[in-house]
Chain A
Amino acid sequence: MSKDFLNQKVLIYNPEKCSGCYYCMIACSFYHNEEADLEKAYLRVYPQDEEFTGFVNAHCTHCEYPICEAACPTEPKAITKDPNSGFVIIDRMRCIGCKSCNFACPISIPIFEKPFGISNKCNFCDGDPRCAKYCSTGALEVVTRKEAKETEPDE
């Protein structure tokens, strides 16, 4: 693992704090699409079960070797990892809407946007993710990947 990779900014989610208000999704869809629509958010919060005993969050981790990038068939690739920031970004001008990335990602982060005929995904709001900034409870936070790894529970 390279040093830059460990210093990259990532999101972490604390299920202990999350109240399931879904405001992160609303903030995300508003920032990217100017709509308050949960379907248009690039991150997801799900109830763990019908009893709402907890919530689960799925957000882009901006992987070191992104599988979405590998799956992208265009040349040059529509999905690239920014060498400086480490964010994995879709270039909407190059995307052909084949949905390969949608299926390749193990947590289905890239989503197909029907009106535009292309896929899109979290771009970390260019370094200032609105989901974490506006999170109602402080359950979502921005930390470096090194710090995030320290919060992982021991196996």
Chain B
Amino acid sequence: MTRSYALFLGCYIPSMQPFAEASLRRIAPPLKMKLIDMEGATCCPVPEIVRLADHDAWLYVSARNLALAESLGKDILAVCNGCWETLYEAREAIVNDTQLMNEVNSHLNLLDKTFEGKVKVKHFLEVMVEDIGLESLKKAIKQPLSKLNVAVQYGCKLYKSPDSKFVSYFDSIIESLGVNAIDYGAEKICCGFPLSLYSLDEAMEERAKFKLDKMQSAKVDCMVTACPGCFDVLEKAQLLLKRQGLQYEIPMLSLTELIALSFGFKPQEIGVDKHRVKTKTLITKLGMGGN
């Protein structure tokens, strides 16, 4: 059975990490997923900044995104932890408060939009485990990556899911793919994005550098994350710390890329070779160098 979702890309995936989008679009057909683009979708908006600066602005803009999905009549597939948090929490707030729903709709109506809470918000991990199922995932694997040692970067928001279930979902997907998740001792630690709002230097030094050091001493082949925010910060950290003479070069993969690789897609097809942090060592290790 093919399942359709309203695809919510967010900001960082389409603009900074097109390889994550490309790999997601490649793995959708084998997993019997139909992704419907949400034309005109905007930033979710980012919870750490907009919600703090002005709760109303955060709520209205996210309600607009929810309304777009409702007009498509499909549940939202959020590929980003931050987008999931915003859309999920905004939806919960609106659906559980009739007065708030009326207020939000009075603003949306000016744009000829309306949100009545008919669609749900689902995280990519949730869709993979609860809707698609790990069995279907295993069946689609063409190239087991059992040689690969990965460091997992969950991203804070996964712990916020009901009973922190997304954390175990991430683990079970990694397990199903057959790659070795290395225990590097700092999985839970934040990448440093919220701290960078206070001081970028501190975020890089105290969080990102700490994590990268741990990953390096654990000798991982690459790190894998489901959060474009973490991806962006840790990528930026590797490039910035290089200027201080610290060579990390830990290849980074988004979870969709890892899945696409195990489905037999070539790294060049999904853009693994187009990362800002070099991935050559990883591609060599996978034995996928040739075209």
Contacts and interface: CB of A to CB of B under 8 A. Distances in A.
Interface of A: 17, 19-23, 26-27, 30-31, 36-38, 51-52, 130, 134-139
A139 B159 CA distance: 8
Q: Which of A21, A31, A138 has the most CB of B within 10 A?
A: A21
Contacts of A21: 156, 190, 192-195, 207
Contact of A136 (B156, B185, B197, B210): B156
Contact of A138 (B160, B185, B193, B194): B160
B198 A20 contact: no
Contact of B52 (A30, A52, A139): A30
Contact of B51 (A22, A134, A139): A134
Interface string B185-210: 11011101111011000000001001
Contacts of A30: 52-53
Contacts of B197: 26, 36
B164 interface: yes
B198 A137 contact: no
B267 interface: no
B48 A137 contact: no
Contacts of A138: 159-160, 164
B189 A20 contact: yes
Contacts, number: 61
13 contacts: A17-B164, A20-B190, A21-B194, A22-B194, A23-B48, A26-B197, A26-B198, A31-B52, A52-B186, A134-B47, A136-B157, A136-B194, A138-B159
B138 to A, nearest CB: 30
Interface residues of B, number: 23
A20 B207 contact: yes
A135 B195 CA distance: 13
A30 B47 CA distance: 14
Contacts of B193: 21
A13 to B, nearest CB: 13
B52 A17 contact: no
B207 to A, nearest CB: 7
B198 A19 contact: no
B190 A19 contact: yes
Contacts of B194: 21-23, 26, 136
Interface string B36-71: 000000000001100111000000000000000000
